[in-house]
Chains A and B, each alone.
Chain A
Amino acid sequence: MGFLSHFNEAPKPELKRLPSGTFTIDADCRIVSSTVPGWVPEAQVRDIGQQVLAVFQGARNANLPFSELIVQYAAFKITAREMRGGAIIFLSPRAPQIAAMH
């Protein structure tokens, strides 16, 4: 079974990990504080902040105010709380939910 040695892969580039941690942004979408790891591009963090603030702003305009936003993707969750026009945003990678019933 000599050909099985082919299955031992040579070192390959690492896959990108999902961002995790917490950051706060002000109303102008400037990052005020962050525990998001340094390898996550700041532009990506700011992009997340911008989209979140836009959702808050749009909801206010549609007369649908709220204070906490939860965005659930298949493998990722964003939780955001509005703070004086800005927001505190929690980023958490997650596994698909497995039933834990009874």
Chain B
Amino acid sequence: MAMATQQKILLLDDDEKMLDLYQELLKQLPSKPEVHVSNSGARAIALLESEPFTLLITDLRMPKMDGLQVLAIVRRKFPHLRIIVLTGVLDEEYRSRAYAQGVEMFWQKPASSEEIKLFQDCIESLLDRETRNEGGFRGMQSKSLVDLIQLECLSRSSSVLHVTQGALHGKIWVQNGEIIDSATANFTAEEAFKEILSWKSGNFEILPADLNRARAINNSYQGLLLDSAQALDEWRGQQVGAEKSGAGGASASSSLLSPLTRFEGVEFVLTLPIDERGPSDSWALENVPQVGAWARTAHRRLAELGEKLHVGALAQVTGTGLQGHWALARDEKKGLLCVGFRRTLPADKVDQTMKHVFTKWVS
């Protein structure tokens, strides 16, 4: 009798022999997944539409619809599906494009028994993670960032934690179980640590220790975690207070958007919900309907262009000029964010500032 938690894998490759071989290898996994195969992108998509799968393993080079085209479609239609690329293509560009489409791993087709074992272990580990349905930061293991920091410190490790959330990057230097420094694009030391802790989700990797790193944080890791938790609580309290004190209409909207306006150079803010019939929020913008309609149209056009080109998700659109600058970014749950910047803000700072405003908005 099949177990209720049995995982389903879909293998996509145009080479029937490879399909047979991988199917055999995957069936040997301890979790005994159900393995389905497809020799074309179109059939794979049809299978994905007909029943739920845990994991798609796909080749890149295939006739008619290549793997990158399949990735673009699958990522849009099945955003939660885990995807692994297994290919003989070793070009860095394709690797980058595959990762840009949100694949979990990019594997060169194994060429030795050791590599096959490693591949099987990786798949098993990923399926196991899915069975346990763990959220949190995704790196070598699924852990919350606080857990990970505590583990590193309690085990008196020396390492560098590299944490990413979308386009934002941060590093935390740990030496003999003490946090000695931290850095993000705009902050250093404790401020950077607090910023990283404010990211709700993301990815991490553990890099080798940097023993030459000078100490810039003298607080204990327990103190740092407490301070960060307190700062987050205070900020959330302010958000709730703002929602409760707002009398509705423009003043409520302004209060909710006001944290976004504190970034350097912000001139106006406009948020547009996913549902086009829903109300927009704005701060310091006069022609809301015109800018709103343009922002939606421009973002949709450029996102469609990206889909046609198979270049991954549209991350950000920025316009700079003598009269001012603006930037557009979209969150799948919250909608579209359009921010205007003063012309005095250097054009090269618009991009980075927008990333911070966007992160604040989505978190």
B132 part of interface (Cβ distance < 8 Å): no
Interface centre among A1, A48, A70, A93 (most CB of B within 10 A): A70
Q: For chain B, what secondary structure do more than half of its interface residues adopt (helix, strand, loop), or is it mixed?
A: mixed
Given contacts A70-B351, A73-B312, A101-B169, contact A6 B321 (CB under 8 A): no
A12 part of interface (Cβ distance < 8 Å): yes
Q: Which B residues touch A9, using CB under 8 A?
A: 15, 18, 61, 88, 109
Given contacts A48-B305, A76-B306, contact A95 B96 (CB under 8 A): yes
**Least Cβ–Cβ distance between A52 and chain B, in angstroms:** 9
The size of the chain B interface, using a CB distance under 8 A, is: 71
Given contacts A15-B94, A62-B293, contact A75 B311 (CB under 8 A): yes
B184 part of interface (Cβ distance < 8 Å): yes
- Asked whether B171 lies within 8 Å of A102 as measured between CB atoms, the reply is yes
The 10 closest A-B pairs by CB, nearest first: A74-B312, A74-B100, A99-B169, A66-B321, A76-B311, A66-B319, A75-B100, A12-B61, A62-B294, A95-B96
A-B contact pairs, 25 of them (CB 8 A): A1-B113, A3-B21, A12-B14, A15-B61, A15-B67, A15-B94, A18-B97, A18-B309, A19-B309, A48-B305, A54-B297, A62-B294, A63-B287, A64-B326, A64-B340, A67-B322, A68-B319, A71-B317, A72-B316, A72-B318, A73-B311, A74-B97, A74-B101, A99-B170, A101-B185
List chain A positions with a Cβ less than 8 A from chain B: 1, 3-4, 6-7, 9-10, 12-19, 44, 47-48, 51, 54-55, 58-59, 61-76, 93-99, 101-102
